[in-house]
């Protein structure tokens, strides 16, 4: 992986996630081997309040490998200060069963070699198209339910189980979309 200083912040973020996806999610080798090129062994990633260490990140990759067909990383803005970066991006993912889009607010620290050491990610699922009225009511009921009982409060494995339903954080073959802050990944045979 390139160092943060080698690219503008938006290009670094897009390249980091696109190449991570290509090598780790859809690569031929075990995910642990490829992950060593992207994360420090003591990585801590806090994603929507759920802490993921090395072992949990490895477990996170397995269902993504099974379900992700294609992903595009659209970086809207990014700022760097030394080895730290803050970015706002959208992950557009085509899963085996449906398309998903997720807005991500990322705050991360990298080593001088470009390995992620720490990150905090706040995410929000984006609707593909405006929901029907009954879907809006169901969504409102679900949001009220989450406020009273957060989905992962009693089940730290809940985040991992959610991956089976279509987490958009991985992909395959990298390709340029023509947008400087965007990278596309595609698995073999998905064209």
pLDDT, tens digit, 9 for 90 and up, residues 37-82: 999 999 999 999 999 999 999 998 888 888 888 889 999 999 999 9
> Are 51 and 44 spatial neighbours (Cβ–Cβ below 8 Å)?
yes
Residue with tokens 């970066």: 85
pLDDT-wise least confident of 58-67, 100-109, 110-119: 58-67
pLDDT band per the 50, 70, 90 thresholds, residue 8? very high
Report the length, in residues, of the chain. Answer: 191
With vertex at residue 5, the alpha carbon angle to CA 4 and CA 10, rounded to the nearest 5 degrees, is 55
pLDDT band at 92 (very low <50, low <70, confident <90, very high): very high
Strand arrangement, sheet containing 50-52: 50-52, 39-47, 116-126, 99-110, 84-95, 68-81, 182-186, 173-176
Count, in order, helices (H) and strands (E) of the chain: 5, 8
Minimum mean pLDDT among 45-54, 72-81, 90-99, 169-178: which range? 169-178
Query: Are the CB atoms for 57 and 45 separated by under 8 Å?
Result: yes
Among 116, 108, 106, 112, which residue's Cα sits nearest to residue 43?
A: 116
Q: How high is the pLDDT of residue 168?
A: 42
Q: What does the alpha-carbon distance between residue 48 and residue 22 come to, in Å, rounded to a whole number?
A: 24
Write down the pLDDT at residue 3.
74
Half-sphere exposure of 13 (CA within 13 A, CB side): 29
**Per-residue confidence (pLDDT) for residue 133, from 0 to 100:** 52
User: Would you state the pLDDT for residue 175?
Assistant: 33
Helix (H) or strand (E) holding 53: none
Q: How far apart are CA 191 and CA 188, in angstroms?
A: 8
Give percent above pLDDT 70 in the chain: 65
Quote the mean pLDDT of the chain: 75
Q: Between β-strands 116-126 and 39-47, what pairing exists: parallel, antiparallel or unpaired?
A: parallel
**pLDDT score recorded for residue 76:** 97
Band of pLDDT at residue 166, cut at 50, 70 and 90: very low
pLDDT level of residue 155 (50, 70, 90 thresholds):
very low
């Amino acid at each position: 992986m390139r160092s943060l200083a080698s690219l503008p912040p938006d290009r670094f973020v897009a390249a980091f996630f696109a190449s991570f996806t290509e090598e780790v999610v859809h690569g031929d080798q075990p995910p642990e081997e490829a992950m060593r090129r992207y994360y420090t062994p003591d990585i801590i990633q806090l994603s929507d309040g759920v802490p993921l260490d090395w072992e949990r990140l490895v477990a996170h990759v397995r269902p993504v490998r099974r379900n992700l067909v294609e992903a595009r990383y659209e970086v809207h803005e990014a700022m760097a200060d030394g080895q730290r970066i803050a970015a706002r991006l959208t992950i557009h993912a085509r899963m085996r069963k449906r398309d998903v889009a997720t807005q991500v607010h990322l705050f991360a620290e990298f080593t001088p070699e470009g390995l992620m050491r720490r990150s905090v990610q706040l995410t929000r699922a984006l609707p593909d198209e405006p929901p029907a009225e009954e879907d809006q009511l169901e969504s409102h009921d679900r949001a009220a339910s989450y406020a009273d009982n957060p989905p992962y409060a009693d089940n730290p494995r809940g985040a991992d189980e959610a991956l089976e339903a279509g987490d958009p954080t991985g992909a395959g073959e990298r390709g340029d979309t023509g947008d400087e802050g965007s990278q596309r990944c595609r698995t073999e045979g998905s064209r």
